[in-house]
Homo-oligomer: A and B are copies of this chain.
Amino acid sequence: MDGFGHLDGISAPGRLAGPDESITAEELGLAARNHGLPLEALRYEVTPPGLHYVLVHYDIPAARAEDWRLTVDGRVRTPLSLDLAALRSFPAATHRVTMECAGNGRARLAPRPVSQPWLVEAVGTAEWTGVPLRLLLAEAGVGDGAVEAVFGGADHGIERGVEQDYRRSLPLAVAGGSDPEVLVAYGMNGAPLPPQHGFPLRLVVPGWYGMASVKWLNGITLTATPFTGFQQVEAYRYRQEADEQGEPVTRIAPRALMVPPGFPDFMSRARVVRPGAVLLEGRAWSGHAPVERVEVSTDGCRTWSDAALTGPVGNGTAHAWAWRSWRAHWTAAPGSHELGVRATDATGRTQPLDQRWNRGGFGSNHVQRVSVLCAPESG
């Protein structure tokens, strides 16, 4: 980990923003590259191309489909090296999956972890098509003693002084599972993967935060010991202190988001609605279990009422790993209002009103609050 001491000047340790420290130039640099889902795009059940959130750790690699190979090796009986045609010869599956960045909500935390500064919009839902990973593992044959599958991507960079290709692992039971069924995906919404979503090949792990769904996937290695790479044991841990081991970031905590009603001010993004009936609507999801309840507040999260829920409800149903739709009716009266929405899943997990802080800003799912001014039409 210290081989890049001479890179210290360009690759600093993780840190927290100071008490009054605004967004830094480096955070802005990331925000200009990566992007969230504009919240009005929650209206689309499947997110159209270009609106799904994107987080690229390093650079989008220059990839040619015709040259791409996926190797499957390590503790397997028969190592594989597959081109795209070989992958397409396996039975294909398509899953509608809601994916969310583990750092979603980070920029709302205090103190703010300095990294990609997401507010609440790092989410999207796509139809991913590819080969179920369990079929590839069966083809290679899981060898004795294998406990994890390590996934390697082609994106290369430095993070906190460590030069690396992006790599993450999954326990073998998750990697080879059928619910959720992990995909080695070559299609998104019926088309080849766009470059920023992993062209030509990526992992898709339904129910897990996005860091598990390795993009530009070129290698799968079965190992006899848990993977200890940077993205597994340094990054993506729930920690209160910098020097503790922490808990791994895995599945997506429940969250509901609202299409902000009415229309916005350009700069503040504050909303204006007209007095009278206002439809509130949005989406809700959880990586632990189906969302069973969505509640809406129109009085600054003091009182709540149930929203109507539609969409996939349970494991094994179509789109079980995609968001559900919710809607509620509000009668807006002139004045300022604060709306809120929260989801609860079948395990009883729900969204807190206040932040549950951790050093990396991961899994932050305290409720979205939307300020709305109800104003009559002017002349």
Which residues of A are interface residues toward B (Cβ below 8 A)?
Answer: 3-4, 6-7, 9-12, 21-36, 38-41, 43-44, 48-52, 54, 56-60, 62, 107, 114-115, 117-119, 121, 156-160, 163, 194-197, 260, 263-270, 272, 336, 371, 373, 375, 378-379
Contacts and interface: CB of A to CB of B under 8 A. Distances in A.
B51 A10 contact: no
Nearest to A6: B375
A23 B32 contact: no
B194 A48 contact: yes
A159 B268 CA distance: 9
A330 to B, nearest CB: 18
A4 B50 contact: no
Contacts of A59: 38, 40, 260, 263-264
25 contacts: A3-B379, A6-B378, A9-B336, A11-B267, A22-B23, A22-B24, A23-B27, A23-B28, A26-B269, A28-B31, A28-B117, A32-B35, A32-B36, A40-B60, A48-B195, A49-B50, A50-B50, A50-B52, A50-B197, A51-B194, A51-B195, A58-B263, A59-B263, A115-B267, A163-B272
A48 B30 CA distance: 20
Among all A-B residue pairs, the 3 with the closest Cβ atoms: A22-B22, A50-B50, A35-B35
Interface of A is mostly: loop
Given A32-B121, A48-B195, A265 B159 contact: yes
B263 A38 contact: no
Contacts of A62: 40, 43
Given A21-B22, A117-B28, A119-B29, A10 B266 contact: no
A263 B32 contact: no
Contacts of A11: 265-268, 270
Given A48-B194, A195-B41, A267 B26 contact: yes
Contact of A266 (B43, B58, B264): B58
Contacts of A58: 263-264, 266
